[in-house]
Amino acid sequence: MEIRDVSSYIRWNLLRPEFFIQDILPKQGVMLVYGEPKSKKSWLVQHMAFSVSVGMEWLGFRTEQARCLLCNFEISPIAYAWRLRDMARNFQLQEQMLYECSPMLMYLDEQENFNRFKAAIREFAPQIIILDCLAACFGGDENDSGQMARWIERMSELKSENNASLVIVHHTNKNTLNSATDRARGHSRLAGWVDTLAYLCVQPAGLQLQFKARQATRELPNINIRFNNYNWSIRGQGG
């Protein structure tokens, strides 16, 4: 452990953190996207992947174009393919910028599954890996500190080996007394590990995104959003 004199930092050529999505998805960072069942979390991260894959703005956030891999662990491959085809009509997608895989239920906390998964995606060199959702790729007890810590170690290894960012889709807990950005289900190790918590909140007027972004350089407002014709937009701005 090294202890440094902070006054010397002004003379250092320190690089500022870089982001694939302005303020909310750092390069080699982790974002947790969570919400109630049927709140369209999967549709949201699919739209995010398309937007970053073409380098276009996503819900008011600037993006840097990056190769994305959508990993669907929940629905059938053919149903997922139909979803992506319908959403793709809103984008001018280049080849080899957005990939998907649909292994269905595949617990990545099991070493053999994890090794197979790593080997399968390696040649595609994804810069952003989206795991949808945690409940279908983690077979342990979400509330167990040790089991969650081991899963986080594997995800850190996955991120490091690919030099990639991770986006993990998850569910909320049932404690409505918690603040909106503290409602991710399971042990607090998970919420404490990620760089950004993105809560997709169902409200009477519609859907809202709420953020707790630890590397953001500004206060992030809540964003009122809507889903229409396989596309997301900010409510009140059309599109």
Q: pLDDT of 153-199, one tens digit each?
A: 999 999 999 999 999 999 998 776 566 667 899 999 999 999 999 99
In a domain, 194, yes or no: yes
In a domain, 215, yes or no: yes
Q: How much is the average pLDDT of 214-224?
A: 93
Residue 95, both tokens: 């080849």
Percent of residues, the chain, with pLDDT higher than 90? 82
In a domain, 3, yes or no: no
pTM score, two decimals? 0.93
Q: What's 188's domain CATH number? A: 3.40.50.300
Cβ atoms of 166 and 117 closer than 8 Å: no
**CA proximity to 100, closest of 77, 66, 134:** 77
Cβ atoms of 87 and 50 closer than 8 Å: yes
Number of domains in the chain: 1
Q: Coil, strand or helix: which one is 156?
A: helix
pLDDT in the model for residue 178 = 63
In a domain, 175, yes or no: yes
**CA proximity to 170, closest of 188, 158, 147:** 188
In a domain, 131, yes or no: yes
In a domain, 10, yes or no: no
d(CA 215, CA 159): 18
In a domain, 188, yes or no: yes
**CA proximity to 169, closest of 2, 47, 16, 64:** 47
Q: Coil, strand or helix: which one is 229?
A: coil
In a domain, 195, yes or no: yes
Q: Which domain holds residue 226?
A: 25-234
Strand bridging mode 206-213 / 223-228: antiparallel
